[in-house]
Structures are given as structure tokens and as C-alpha cells.
Amino acid sequence: MNDLNTTPASEWNATAEVRVGALNPSTMITLRPGLSVPEADRAPYYKRTSATLGGGAVGLAPFTLHDNDGTPTRRQLQAVDCSLTRVTLLPSDFNVGGTNTSVPVKMRFYGPLQVITTSDRVKIECAPLGAVENPCTAPAWQNVSSGFLVRLPTDPLVNDPRTIGLSRANNTTQIGAGLYRVTFPGIGSSGVAGLPGVKVTKYCEDVDESAVFYFRVGQDCDGDLCDDWVDFSIPVACETGCADFNGVDGITVADIFDFINAWFAGCTLATGVSPCISSADFNGNHAIEVQDIFEFLNAWFAGTGCD
């Protein structure tokens, strides 16, 4: 391991091994390169989770995200062919008990982390669902970092030197549905000479070495804790959107005002922060039109299934 990562994996040889638990040969884990080595033990980007290594980590620096560690794991949320699987989070996952103490996203790296800049330490961006499901073909991303509370490794709700978590920010009503991208411009590889930033490459060109984390938050219009994408029992009033626009106290007059504010603001992303509490593209055709107002009002007056 070296601080500049100037020793590529191709230069590792049969004698370059990391042995974990060497005092007990029967249970010892040996991490080394080579196609003959099981993928779980193949250095430098092995697939062993921290639990099997005694809670620690071994890896080249700058450190990268671990595919199989974390909550949910990066491998669960994104496929190696540059497309997302249908493993999703829901807005309610960030709002357990109406608080922001839920940490549904925990991103775990191969080594310990340290903050190197105070501004924009972790950057979170969003693209609307429907317009794109594949991050490799995403349109312009919108910065929604203000909608999240970043839980650093020292946070009691994380308490892991190589993990960063995401909660809902205090000023955010709910985390909106969308495709999210997380990067780490202000996070460094702790304990490594020069404190290099974590390794970031283009996701679509090099999945294993990427420090870009993608996750999807699905719609749950009828509040049945099932992603609308795979929910076969969505009420009619929810098929084009939810009349409980602000997600507070069911369907009320306040939803109309909040929708109109979002419509005039041209909100196509649900950031959870006013005026873009939810998307004003009510019919989902990726445009803000007068028709969205009519369809929203129809759903509001129907008032079924969205509260």
C-alpha cells in the first residue's frame, strides 16, 4: 500500500500477500492477487466484508468504496454493467418516527476516513426518476446536499472510522424520489502520508475503483411501504402522482398551495426543501405544463389512497 497508489494491481505478485489471523492457520484469511484466488480474497479490491476481517480493512490508498460492505451494499444498489438494479430505498426510510435519526445509507470504504475540507465534504446530487434509471446516461444532476445530514465516522449513529452515513436534514420534510449520486470531494484517506482524497473515477469506466455511490429512492404514493415501481395495488388517484403533495397531515388545502408554489418554481425534482418539496411534473412527462395543475386538482378532489 502506498499513499499515491503508484503500485498498480498488475505489479502485485504471488509473494505480495496480506494475512489476517495468521496465528491460526486453519482460519487464516489470505488476500492476494491472481485469477486463481477466489474473488472474495482477490487483492487489492477484495470482497471480504469488515466483519470477516475482525472489523478492520485492508486496501490500496487512496481508499475506495467497498462493493459488498455498507448498508445497503453498493453491489445491491448498482450493477457492474452500469445500470441500477431495482433495489431501492423509500422516502419513509429516511423518516422513521418522523425524526432524522434514521441512517438508511451507510457507505463503507476500504480504510479509515478524515475530513480535509469543511465545505462540500460530501456532495449529493439527484436526477428525476422516469427521465433516467441509468447513471451513465443521466441528464444534468442537481445538487441536493442541503436536504441531507451527513453522518461522519465519529457520529454516534455511525461510529465506524471508515463509514459515512446519510440522514434527512432538519430542514427537509422528506427525501424525494429520484436517482441520487454521492461523491466525496472533502474526504481524505486517514493515516496515509499526504492525506490523499478517496479514490474517485468515472463509474461507467471503472466500477471497482470508483468512489461514486448511487442509490435510488422510489415513490411510495399510497404509503404501503412498497416501491410504486413494483406495487400492483396503487389506487387510481395515485397513478399519476400523489395529492398529499407535502407529505404532511394527509390531503389538505396546504397541498394545493405547496403544489402551485412548486409549479411556478418549475420544480422537476423532489428535494424535500421548499418550494421543491415534491415534483410539480405531476403527470410525469418531464415538463411543467398547465396540464399538471388540472391533473393534480383532479387527484386532490378524488382524495383517495394518498393519505
> Is the domain of 111 the same as that of 123?
yes
- State yes or no: pLDDT of 111 exceeds 80: yes
User: How many domains are contained in the chain?
Assistant: 3
Identify the weakest region by mean pLDDT among 40-49, 80-89, 234-243: 80-89
pLDDT band at 55 (very low <50, low <70, confident <90, very high): confident
230 is a domain residue: no
> Is the domain of 128 the same as that of 164?
yes
Q: What angle do CA 175, 303, 243 make, to 5 degrees?
A: 30
Domain that holds residue 294: 236-302
Q: Does pTM surpass 0.85?
A: no
pLDDT, position 40? 85
> Is the domain of 80 the same as that of 97?
yes
> Is the domain of 189 the same as that of 42?
no
All residues at 6 or more sequence positions from 192 whose CB lies less than 8 Å from its CB, including other chains: 1, 3, 61, 62, 63, 111
- Percent of the chain at pLDDT > 70 equals 71
> Is the domain of 33 the same as that of 98?
no
> Is the domain of 24 the same as that of 109?
no
224 is a domain residue: no
pLDDT per residue over 119-170, tens digit each? 779 999 887 665 445 666 655 678 889 899 999 999 999 999 999 999 999 8
171 is a domain residue: yes
* Arithmetic mean of pLDDT over the chain: 76
pLDDT, position 158? 94
> Is the domain of 265 the same as that of 279?
yes
> Is the domain of 94 the same as that of 46?
no
> Is the domain of 54 the same as that of 76?
no
What's the 3-state SS for 60-113? CCCCCECCCCCECCHHHHCCCCCCCCCCCECHHHHCHHHCCCCCCEEEEECCCE
> Is the domain of 67 the same as that of 143?
yes
- State yes or no: pLDDT of 31 exceeds 50: yes
pLDDT per residue over 184-219, tens digit each? 989 999 988 888 888 865 555 444 445 788 888 877
- State yes or no: pLDDT of 22 exceeds 60: yes
226 is a domain residue: no
Domain end point (choices 218, 252, 286)? 218
> Is the domain of 38 the same as that of 93?
no
User: Is 139 or 41 the better-scoring residue by pLDDT?
Assistant: 41
CA dist., res. 138 & res. 82, Å (int): 11
pLDDT, position 160? 92
pLDDT, position 2? 45
CA dist., res. 243 & res. 256, Å (int): 8
> Is the domain of 199 the same as that of 185?
yes
229 is a domain residue: no
Domain end point (choices 12, 43, 60)? 60
- State yes or no: pLDDT of 233 exceeds 50: yes
pLDDT, position 156? 95
Closest CA to 260 of 278, 286, 237, 242: 278
75 is a domain residue: yes
243 is a domain residue: yes
Domain end point (choices 60, 77, 108)? 60
187, 114 Cβ separation under 8 angstroms: yes
